[in-house]
Amino acid sequence: MGGIDRGRHAGSFPAMHVLSGKARKAGVLGWPVSHSRSPRLHGYWLARHGIDGAYLPLPVRPERFEAAVRALADLGFAGANVTIPHKEAAFTLCDSVDAVAHRAGSVNTLIFAEDGTIRGTSTDGYGFVESLAEQAPGFAPAEGPAVILGAGGAVRSVAAALLDAGCPRLILVNRTIERAHALARDLGGAVEVTAEADLHGVVLLVNGTSLGMAGQPPLAIDLTPLPPHAVVADMVYVPLETPLLAAARARGLRGVDGLGMLLHQARPGFEAWFGAAPQVDAELRAFVAHDIPPDLRPSSGA
């Protein structure tokens, strides 16, 4: 049995995290990966559940990605998360992917099955919809049209999840408009592409670009046309309260931050690898938010 050894032999050994030979292993593959909060997040749940397991940062160059994934499977890992720039490569190497990953054309969660096959799913969209339900209770994507700014990997998953959740009309706006058209084609259904966002009658506005992130230019958009019951969501979580969310709240609109999406997208992977259903609660939020530089998070630490 592994887990935290709180010093049964008090005085002889310091309290330490001890793994047994049967410990379950997972991690996050990215290049770079040092910015990832996933080890902190999964580490919290491992400790909370007293699980004999470990979750590691796994920096892997793009040209070594496939070899690294196969090696992890050989080494007895239960699976891995995948972040920039490997999400499309992960999709390609999976033996099977679920419907959401297929629609999104990208995978952020790998599960190494007992029969030696690699299964893939894309949980960013799931995390987004769960976070929406948590931070804007009572709101349903079926209520009306949504505008998504961006057409990158994360938007692919979020757009598919919103359509699955009943969004009746999805409007994509992206700097590179061909990328938005390609996504609309892949998604099928009630998806439109426009060069400029028209927010009249829109009930959900989502920023899925990197604009507004610390070190990036701000997102310039006038929220005035949004109806008073609209929800504004930002996938960016550094800073935690983006200028977009601050502008939405100043107008009395409900805001949904990107940290909630990050926390919720991790739940399916953790459950598949470590066998416990983890919860997102205020303590976890504060623990992960604590890793965001103090000047980029509200003083509450939330």
Ligand X SMILES: NC(=O)c1ccc[n+]([C@@H]2O[C@H](COP(=O)([O-])OP(=O)(O)OC[C@H]3O[C@@H](n4cnc5c(N)ncnc54)[C@H](OP(=O)(O)O)[C@@H]3O)[C@@H](O)[C@H]2O)c1
Given 208, 239, 255, 268, the residue binding ligand X (CB under 6 A) = 208
Rounded Cα distance between 207 and 148, Å, is 6
Q: 10 Å Cβ neighbour count for 111?
A: 19
Given 39, 125, 145, 150, the residue binding ligand X (CB under 6 A) = 150
Binding flag, residue 217, ligand X (CB under 6 A): yes
Site for ligand X in 234-293 (CB under 6 A): 235-237, 258, 261-262, 265
Binding flag, residue 158, ligand X (CB under 6 A): no
Given 25, 174, 230, 245, the residue binding ligand X (CB under 6 A) = 174
Binding flag, residue 125, ligand X (CB under 6 A): no
Instruction: State which residue, 24 or 244, has the beta carbon closest to ligand X.
Output: 244
Is 87 an active-site residue?
yes
* Catalytically annotated residue among 37, 42, 87, 156: 87
Instruction: State which residue, 79 or 127, has the beta carbon closest to ligand X.
Output: 127
Least distance (Å) between residue 47 CB and ligand X: 21
Given 213, 226, 245, 272, the residue binding ligand X (CB under 6 A) = 213
Region from 21-29, 140-148, 151-159, 189-197 binding ligand X, contact rule CB under 6 A: 151-159
Instruction: State which residue, 226 or 240, has the beta carbon closest to ligand X.
Output: 240
Binding flag, residue 100, ligand X (CB under 6 A): no
Binding flag, residue 91, ligand X (CB under 6 A): no
Residues forming contacts to ligand X in the complex (CB under 6 A) are 84, 124, 127, 150-155, 174-176, 179, 208-211, 213, 217, 235-237, 258, 261-262, 265
Catalytic positions: 87
